[in-house]
Structure 1
Amino acid sequence: MDGPNSFGEILLVEDNPGDVRLTKELLKETGYDPTVHVVSDGPDALEFLSRRGDYADAPRPDAILLDLHLPRMDGTDVLERMDDDVRDVPVIVLSGAQRDQEFESDEIEAVVDARVQKPLDPDEFDAIVQSLSEQPAE
């Protein structure tokens, strides 16, 4: 990544419309102006990331904001089933529960770049984006 501006395309995987709205407001409040693509469940997230079905023309996201508690397939299953060609996309987990209740395996923990507890705090989110922007590309 080249910096915060490299977060031009964000995939937000969130089933709660209120949290979608708040997350978009948070992005504006922190000064980022990405295009936010929203899907509300795990299967749609995988379709978007693999550019299949209704998402054949979807852009490759620069970051994934992922709620773990989703209908049809939870976020941990999404992480396990992501295609290898999107494994380098930073994943920020949005969680309403404590970290150790959310992650059951080191494999899942290894693919998550950061965690943010809901409700999102603008300063915490900004610090995470800054730290991800400073990491060298793999």
Structure 2
Amino acid sequence: MSDATPEEPIDLLLVEDNPGDVRLTEEAFKSTDSEIEFHTISDGTEAAKYVHRLHSEGPEDGLDLVLLDLNLPRIDGFAVLEALDEEFDYPPPPVLILSSSETEEDIVKSYEKNANAYLTKPDGPMEFNSMAQAIEDFWIETARHPPAPT
């Protein structure tokens, strides 16, 4: 990943246990201009293992963006946030919480554990499309990311 817009395809880790939300998210990103390669994991423990494995392979094999649900089987999204923080010696890719929870406690805790943004899951396909476009516009096209160490 470069310090500017990542090269396409964009490697996106989607950690979501609801198959319907996975489908809606993937379909929504098809409506954007970016080519997205999804790595979908439906279990918190498997997501933490994936992060560990990815980190051990080196920064050149990294992710560009993570969409993380909080309510996951086995371990929750907060534990996955901790794994990201512990595994990377440099800033991990942007992590956007995508949760149905609107509780202030979950929002505050997500930011305390270094999430880059907290998004409430949209209600339907059109809202998912709008969310995907907003993510592309800011996190893929506009935001600059620190370079991975060499």
TM-score band by shorter chain is 0.7 to 0.9
Q: 1:50 corresponds to which residue?
A: 52
Q: 1:37 corresponds to which residue?
A: 39
How much has 1:113 moved relative to structure 2?
A: 1.7
SS at match of 1:121: helix
1:40-95 Cα distance to aligned partner (Å, 9 max, x none): 1111111111117xxx7xx4211111011101000011101221247420111111
Percentage of identical aligned residues: 36
- The 10-residue stretch of structure 1 (39-48 or 28-37) with the greater mean CA deviation from structure 2: 28-37
User: Which among 124, 132, 142 is matched to residue 134 of structure 1?
Assistant: 142
Structure 2: unaligned runs, 5 residues or longer? none
Verify the 8 A CA contact 1:41 1:71 in the aligned structure 2.
yes
1:116-135 correspondence runs (5 A): 116-119=119-122, 120-132=127-139, 133-135=141-143
Q: Which amino acid aligns with 1:122?
A: N
Q: Which amino acid aligns with 2:53?
A: R
Query: What is the TM-score with the length of structure 1 in the denominator?
Result: 0.80
Partners of 1:7 and 1:99 lie apart in 2 by: 34
1:92 and 2:99 matched: no
Query: What is the TM-score with the length of structure 2 in the denominator?
Result: 0.74
Aligned residue pairs, count: 133
Structure 1: unaligned runs, 5 residues or longer? none
Verify the 8 A CA contact 1:114 1:128 in the aligned structure 2.
no
Verify the 8 A CA contact 2:34 2:136 in the aligned structure 1.
no
The structure with higher relative contact order (CA 8 Å, sep 6+) is: 2
Verify the 8 A CA contact 1:4 1:32 in the aligned structure 2.
no
